[in-house]
Structure 1
């Protein structure tokens, strides 16, 4: 997108102090973040973290206990034609099984001013032209995901909100979805995609928002999240206790792993130099860095931002 003006002026999406309780359960807890136009933002967290509840409040499908949401300068429902501003697909189960794929789109098309040609165009876009006349009850999970996306795109919206859109897609389908969403963002549109697995979306997203138990634990660019990855080294020694003592003297974190030890937060070269200096015998020394998935798992396991205080955002 560098060097070219975006084709679409899209609003941002934002939640501020958002809280939702169900009896004694606090599903969303004082959540605040913003989703910028021209980027794909991954809304991440383990199952039950409160992602779907947050998206439902953003789209006016659930009422917050406190806090607010907005699409641009107003709540979603305050837009004259909200479905033309935000296209959303929150689940792949809200289809009448007796309708055809084309028939499903034709039901929703008048709400956003779409005609029959637009319905056919979108079926081609999502790869369902050959299945347009089949009943949705005969569709696979992946096909229903594609049909849900086509429904979200009917009004050519500047914003797109998708809840776990890779569920049911095969690797080819995930690559297709990635290309579609990247192109959508390149046009200057706003894209928010939820997932409980960073690995499924890390090649798609520009920004990440991570929540655990309804609370924000991290918000940044994907590059800033990657910067939280730490070096490490895997060590095998006939004197493992000596390696562990060495690591503790140096202030390194050490833990047992398979046949040896993992020393976190330090390069293999530094471990080797310290072992040579202290005369500690090593039989194996292998660099072992954390990757994005490791960082994500550490965030969701601890419930704290690794870059700062809990809930710190960029």
Structure 2
């Protein structure tokens, strides 16, 4: 599948005295899942609305390939989007909702039933949307986005309201989209919700870009840590302090922050300190995320 790049170029949105999005620039490439991350109120939804032509920018532009979303002859066939799980007519059935959109993207009634089955709502096709749970509405929003089998998928907080099984399902689906060569942009206010499924991360706060890289590169910015059990934890703690590392008691051992397990092991060996257990602690990406998005951060 040939999918276009999404390009956000100097995008700005002013609502009265409030600058919701401030000179935002980043790109989203095909063949990867990009997590669009930031706390609630960071400007994520406003950015997505400008990308989809629902909100007019104060400055800058958002491109889908070489043009703005609305400039595509049939934009709904290029970008499939789900922004709000509440934007459904409560009196329509799930199937009826999709049938309203089907002519706009040039698909049949059979396709409506096909995507309902794909998102696990075939059993509720004749049920009125007003009786759907939040998780079911999330699935219906995804079905709407997939109607035209578009090369670009844009989802706003897609795991909200899903049970654990549904979260695993959406993660697998996102990975499948990327493997098919689609351009996938998914927003979340928590990194841990999308960490298992994204390749790239774009972090914003207060409408401004704070970080953009691969997830692997972001991990290198997180502080490493190791868990150590030693018969003389006091001696080990002194060694850690001398090396500029910090230690915290955890059960029978110590968590050493600021060093990898290999570094702790090498230092203990050189100092002749006996260790009974030494394991790597996964980097705390969530802590780094909060550090990147704190109000006083200046990046």
- In the TM superposition, what are the counterparts of 1:137-216 in structure 2 within 5 Å? 137-216=130-209
Deviates more, 1:159-168 or 1:224-233: 224-233
Q: Once the 2 structures are TM-superposed, how far is the Cα of residue 148 of structure 1 from its aligned partner?
A: 0.7
CA–CA distance in structure 2, aligned partners of residues 272 and 181 of structure 1: 39
How far does the alpha carbon of each residue in 1:39-92 deviate from its partner, in whole angstroms, 9 at most, with x for none? Answer: 111111111111101101111111111111100000001111111110110010
Q: TM-score, normalised by structure 1?
A: 0.83
Moved more, 241-250 or 14-23: 241-250
Distance (Å, rounded) in 2 between the aligned partners of 1:42 and 1:264: 27
Kindly tell me: are residues 282 and 71 of structure 1, through their superposed partners in 2, closer, same or farther at Cα, counting changes over 3 Å? same
Structure 2, gaps ≥5 residues long: none
What is the aligned counterpart of 1:128 among 113, 116, 121? 121
- The 1:242–1:155 alpha-carbon spacing in structure 2 relative to 1, beyond 3 Å, is same
**Counterpart in 2 of 1:29?**
22
Contact kept, 8 Å, 2:229 with 2:278, in 1: the verdict is yes
Partner SS for 2:223: coil
**Preserved CA contact (<8 Å) 2:206 2:295:** no
1:4 matched residue in structure 2: none
> Larger deviation: 215-224 or 83-92?
215-224
Counterpart of 1:69?
62
Aligned to 2:216: 223
Match of 1:40 in 2: 33
In structure 2, the CA distance between the partners of 1:272 and 1:183, relative to structure 1 (3 Å rule), is closer
- Which residue of structure 1 lines up, in the alignment, with residue 85 of structure 2? 92
CA shift at 1:166, angstroms?
0.5
Check 1:236–1:82 CA distance in 2 against 1; reply closer, same or farther (3 A cut): same
Shift of 1:174: 1.3
- Give the secondary structure class of the aligned counterpart of 1:227: helix
Q: In the alignment, which of 5, 14, 25 is matched to residue 12 of structure 1?
A: 5
In structure 2, how many angstroms separate the alpha carbons of the residues matched to 1:52 and 1:249? 47
The structure-2 alpha-carbon separation of the partners of 1:111 and 1:236, relative to structure 1 and needing over 3 Å to count, comes to: same
DSSP 3-state at the match of 2:160: coil
Question: If the length of structure 2 is used for normalisation, what is the TM-score?
Answer: 0.87
Question: Structure 1: which 5+ runs fail to align?
Answer: 1-7
Q: Could you tell me whether the CA contact under 8 Å between 2:246 and 2:258 is conserved in 1? A: no
Describe the SS at the equivalent of 1:32: strand
In 2, Cα distance between equivalents of 1:286 and 1:175: 27
**Alignment partners' CA distance in 1, 2:122 and 2:248:** 54
Question: Contact 2:11 / 2:22 at 8 angstroms: preserved in 1?
Answer: yes
Change (3 A) 1:90 1:143: same
